């Protein structure tokens, strides 16, 4: 039979780390996966830093990042000091990278996903499946959507979500962590029905019939899914677990795609608040208060806008919920940049530019998007911490205002 081919769309700090993980596993499970993993790299010219072990050999002139990754097996800009497996291939062409791939792992900052999907539309296998590792939400005039559902509907494929307490650098150094993968595949995917006749010479023997499927909110999905042909190994929880689980990266499989996606997105807003109070010089009690209130607002948001499917336990019991909230509010980039912004009297985006060497924060954009979504619906009142973070970012409130802003709600209840 055929084997699944895996492509990672994105190659930043987390994109490179996830690529390392899956390339280690595709080498191990050759009955399920093609060993070679493609990683799409947004191409740029990079000078290898002088403290890199490759600096002497590489010289000081700029080189293409893909060339550096393929030659030295290291992403010297976004994941320096970590050796990547040699079956991981950096590819500057997004279309070439996804060619023939049945498993697409979306892992890039959420501000760039729309443009990536525009290029991929109609250019991927119709029966490909996706996993979104993106932490953010998509807000439009129609409301709020998850990247898992948004990518799925845009590309007409099914997309699950991976999210957890996963600071990339720790995992790249193979320090133990947990993660949560939500995948609720179309029922026809893993049935071993005989493959119907080909309807497309370019794609081969597949059934291009569309199969009905429910989206992450339990509604009939707008995406037109094509079942995975029977020659491929079933793409079920067991198969995905083999792709992502490592001795240092423990995977819990669940079905609540909306809860897992929302946890990863909303905790970034709370991590900014944690950075603000720490930067103000307040202690651990203040940070714990922000995390408690933030978790309540995350649960409230999930129940109010994704209530058909979201389970409270996803926020309170999984790595994608409370554990990610804690790690992100301790050592995440959103936390660190927010803290420094208050300490130095700068804006968070100024600190992001100065400190992150091209890495991108997700919390600032998410705070603005969530705020505009809630504001349009006249629902800010029940989300005082999310509102306070937005107001501090735009200069309408101070850190000192947080206690009175958030305590109003508790007194009302
Ligand atoms: P990152 O912050 O390292 O971002 C930089 C990436 O963006 C680089 O690969 C760069 O090439 C790319 N880029 C820059 N301009 C671009 C453009 N115009 N078009 C396309 N790509 C462009 O990225 P990351 O840390 O890999 O984050 C990806 C996602 O993973 C985010 O949603 C983030 O929240 C999530 N995440 C990150 C971590 C972490 O610790 N870094 C952990 C878990 C989840
Ligand atoms: P930051 O993007 O704030 O670094 O958060 C990383 C993360 O998602 C940890 O799970």
Report which protein residue has its CA nearest ligand 1's atom 43: 166
Asked if 251 and 245 count as a contact pair (C-beta separation under 8 A), the reply is yes
Consecutive H or E run containing 218? none
DSSP code of residue 203 = T
Q: What is d(CA 152, CA 213) in angstroms, rounded to the nearest whole number?
A: 11
Is the CB of 237 within 6 Å of ligand 1? no
Closest ligand 2 atom to 271 CA: 3
Is the CB of 12 within 6 Å of ligand 1? yes
Among all bound ligands, the one having the nearest atom to the CA of 269 is 2
Closest ligand 2 atom to 363 CA: 3
Asked if 17 and 40 count as a contact pair (C-beta separation under 8 A), the reply is no
3-class DSSP assignment, residue 64: strand
- Return the closest-CA partner of residue 186 out of 150, 228, 241: 228
Pocket-testing residue among 15, 42, 92, 108, ligand 1, by greatest number of atoms within 8 A of Cβ: 108
Is the CB of 163 within 6 Å of ligand 2? no
pLDDT in tens, the chain (413 residues): 899 999 999 999 999 999 999 999 999 999 999 999 999 999 999 999 989 999 888 888 999 999 999 999 999 999 999 999 999 999 999 999 999 999 999 999 999 999 999 999 999 999 999 999 999 988 877 788 899 989 999 999 999 999 999 999 999 999 999 999 999 977 777 665 544 444 444 444 444 455 666 777 777 776 678 889 989 999 999 999 999 999 999 999 999 999 999 999 999 999 999 999 999 999 999 999 999 999 999 999 999 999 988 999 999 999 999 999 999 999 999 999 999 999 999 999 999 999 999 999 999 999 999 999 999 999 999 999 999 999 999 999 999 999 999 986 655 54
Is the CB of 362 within 6 Å of ligand 2? yes
Is the CB of 135 within 6 Å of ligand 1? yes
User: Does the annotation count 214 as an active-site position?
Assistant: no
């Amino acid at each position: 039979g055929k084997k699944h081919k895996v492509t990672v769309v994105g190659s930043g700090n987390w994109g490179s780390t996830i690529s390392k993980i899956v390339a280690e596993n595709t080498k191990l499970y050759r009955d399920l996966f093609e060993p070679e993993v493609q990683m799409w790299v947004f191409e740029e010219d990079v000078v290898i830093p002088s403290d890199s072990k490759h600096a002497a050999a590489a010289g000081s002139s700029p080189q293409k990042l893909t060339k550096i990754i393929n030659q030295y097996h290291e992403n010297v800009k976004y994941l320096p000091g970590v050796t990547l497996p040699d079956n991981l291939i950096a590819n500057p062409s997004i279309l070439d990278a996804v060619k023939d791939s049945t498993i697409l792992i979306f892992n890039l900052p959420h501000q760039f996903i729309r443009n990536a999907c525009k290029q991929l539309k109609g250019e991927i296998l119709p029966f490909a499946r996706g996993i979104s590792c993106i932490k953010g939400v998509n807000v439009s005039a129609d409301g709020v959507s998850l990247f898992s559902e948004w990518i799925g509907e845009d590309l007409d494929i099914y997309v699950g979500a991976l999210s957890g307490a996963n600071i990339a650098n720790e995992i790249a150094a193979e320090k133990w962590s947990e993660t949560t993968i939500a995948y609720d595949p179309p029922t026809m995917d893993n049935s071993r029905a005989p493959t119907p006749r080909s309807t497309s010479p370019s794609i081969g023997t597949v059934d291009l019939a569309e199969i009905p499927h429910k989206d992450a909110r339990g509604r009939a999905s707008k995406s037109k899914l094509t079942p995975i042909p029977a020659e491929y190994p079933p793409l079920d929880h067991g198969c995905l677990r083999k792709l992502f689980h490592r001795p240092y990266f423990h995977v819990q499989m669940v079905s609540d795609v909306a809860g897992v996606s929302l946890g990863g997105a909303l905790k970034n807003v709370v991590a900014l608040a944690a950075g603000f109070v720490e930067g103000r010089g307040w202690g651990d009690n203040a940070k714990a208060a922000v995390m408690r209130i933030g978790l309540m607002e995350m649960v409230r948001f999930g129940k109010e806008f994704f209530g058909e499917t979201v389970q409270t336990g996803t926020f309170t019991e999984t790595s994608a919920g409370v554990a990610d909230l804690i790690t992100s509010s301790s050592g995440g980039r959103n936390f660190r940049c927010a803290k420094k912004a208050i300490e130095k009297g700068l804006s968070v985006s100024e600190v992001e530019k100065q400190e992150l060497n091209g890495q991108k924060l997700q919390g600032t954009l998410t705070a603005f998007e969530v705020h505009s979504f809630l504001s349009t619906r006249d629902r800010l009142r029940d989300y005082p911490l999310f509102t306070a973070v937005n107001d501090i970012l735009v200069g309408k409130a101070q850190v000192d205002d947080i206690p009175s802003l958030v305590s109003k709600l508790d007194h009302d209840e």
